[in-house]
Structure 1
Amino acid sequence: MAIAGTRSPVETAYVAMDVDRRISNGRFVLGLGSSIKSCVTGLYGEPERKLLSHLRESVKVMRYVIANAHKGLDPVAGEYFSADFEEMMLTAPPVREDIPIWIAALQEKMTALALEIGDGMRVHALWSTVYTRSRLPFITDTLAKYGRKREDIEINAWRWIAVNDDKQRAIDDSRATVAAYSGYKEYEPFFEAIGFGDQARACQLSLAEHGDIAKVIGNVSDEMVEAFVTCGPVDEVLEKIEPFWDVVDSLCPMTPYRDLTMGS
């Protein structure tokens, strides 16, 4: 997944076409997310924007470039992106003129945008099993609102998974990742929704003061870790992720990566 707000949509479209041609042989999927304001402006130094509006416009420009860069592009004038393309040289024809674009979903507005314009939707790792299943009516209603069918979009779950026959070790290895995410105010609703709001707010206060995961990790209980990370032996992990299939078409397991060592 790429952060749309930190990249030129033209450059991103060109990269997508190159990867589709040279590496994936027509199998590439372009994943885009908005990230959060503190990251886009505070870390990457980008100007303050309405992140969802910017993402919508970026997707439109990328699709236009991918489909037409080999034919010639007319000027584009948008709220965030404008170009006359006078200096542009024609590209080679792409492998596909419609490279799939998946949108990363977090809260309701972003989920609705993904369901409206995305070829796919990747649900955030903070979507617990319970939360993911609770969103099914919203997904169904939103697709219907935009005249789309369920088969028009692939829904993918980005799930933190820690496989280890020593379950406690898996939980301990995952704790720093949960602590880090709970330290962001923007993610608080996901912790609040399943009873961990106080712990998340404790991490926010400590992170704001210290900026050190080691000093907040004690606020994260085993139960809090397991709400967001599937931990344990392979058979137990497979059983626990089974409910996701009520909602999603595919899963993308991801290691809870914060503060891991080579021996973890």
Structure 2
Amino acid sequence: MTDREIHLPVAAQSSIDGIAEITQHAESEGYVRAWMPETWGRDGVTTLTTLAERTDRIELGTSIANVFSRSPALLGQTAATLQEVSNGRFRLGIGPSGPAVIEGWHGESFDRPLRRTREYVEIIERVVAGEGLEYDGDIYSLSGFRLRFDPPETPPPIDVAGMGPKSVELAGRFADGWHATTFTPDGLRERLGDLRRGAELGDRSPDDIRVSLSLPCCVLEDGDRARELAAQHLAFYVGAMGTYYRKSLARQGYETEANEIAARWASGDQAAAIALIEDELLDELAVAGTPERAREQLQTFTEIKGLDAVALAFPRGASPADIDATVTAMATDN
């Protein structure tokens, strides 16, 4: 059975208490894990520490912590500490993010993202295991230190986010899991082939690599409003968040639509960009509408062989009430 997870809102919430309430609600509804994104809102570490203190069972993770704004050793320390404060419920999701955030927000050069991600995985694995940090990579050369407290009895797994063939292959070769986002069912199946190839290169079994899909989701009795919110969300990512989402959508057979959405958004005509997310494309990329319709849509994704979890991602424009309704409607028992 495919696990049901949530991807906490990327949009600013009124308070950290609101984020905690969403997570507590998901826990009460039986969701397996809550993923915390980190963009230019609240930082993931402080938020996840708060969530660990205010929940009991639901697992927690970053999706994603980028590999530019913190050193790999610091991310290793952070992962070990979050594993401690959550009593073994933490999973570290990392990835390059994209130039828009890394250069525009952090002021770092978006240089060699794949090589950097690989070295982060290798270094973090050594840190959380309590090993002496002797590492000579292309980007990082480290020596002389090890974690200054007892490492976690169970090291937190390390997942990698990726959208393109090479980044997904990297996850299959080196990571404990892959975070997928903005995929059609057929697009996801194609990338799962890259994951399997990476696993073969790493002499690993694909069954040992956990795959979680972040799936835009809005489920309301007012199905038209739910679909509008989901379309707005997708248009923003394709149009405003650099080239990664646009290129990923193009690779999945929607090159014309992806380019037109980006062009309309760049020209300031956001309404036209949103209108280009027509019903067929929306149903390929999201779960949105009335509860009955959404549950049927979700099954299209949960039946994909090799997908271990679906993380419901709430649209940027969703209100707390919209999020609450979606969590309830899409709980496993409903």
TM-score range, shorter chain: 0.7 to 0.9
Question: 1:181 pairs with 237, 242, 258, which one?
Answer: 237
* Aligned position for 2:289: 232
Cα drift, residue 90 of structure 1: 5.3
> 1:100 is matched by which residue type in structure 2?
P
Describe the SS at the equivalent of 1:171: helix
Unaligned runs of at least 5 residues, structure 2: 1-62, 323-334
Separation in 1, partners of 2:146, 2:199: 38
Question: 1:25 pairs with 87, 93, 98, which one?
Answer: 87
* Aligned position for 2:117: 55
> What is the aligned-residue identity percentage?
24
Deviations 1:99-152 (A, max 9, x none): 20011121100100000011111111x111222234444433442333211322
Separation in 2, partners of 1:262, 1:100: 31
Count of matched residue pairs:
255
* Aligned position for 2:66: 3
C-alpha change, 1:148 and 1:168, in structure 2 (3 Å) is same
Describe the SS at the equivalent of 1:148: coil
* Aligned position for 1:197: 255
Describe the SS at the equivalent of 2:293: helix
Any residues of structure 2 matched to 1:15-94 within 5 Å, and which? 15-22=78-85, 24-68=86-130, 73-85=132-144, 91-94=148-151
User: Please, what is the CA RMSD of the aligned residues?
Assistant: 2.5
Separation in 2, partners of 1:238, 1:129: 15
Whether the aligned pair in 2 keeps the contact of 1:171 and 1:226 (CA below 8 Å) is no
> 1:4 is matched by which residue type in structure 2?
V
* Aligned position for 1:166: 222
Deviations 1:15-45 (A, max 9, x none): 11111111x2112110011112232223311
Structure number, greater radius of gyration: 1
Separation in 2, partners of 1:47, 1:135: 27
> 1:6 is matched by which residue type in structure 2?
S
C-alpha change, 1:32 and 1:89, in structure 2 (3 Å) is closer
TM-score normalised by structure 1 residue count: 0.85
* Aligned position for 1:146: 202
> 1:52 is matched by which residue type in structure 2?
L
**Which range moved further: 199-208 or 146-155?**
199-208
Question: 1:112 pairs with 144, 169, 175, which one?
Answer: 169
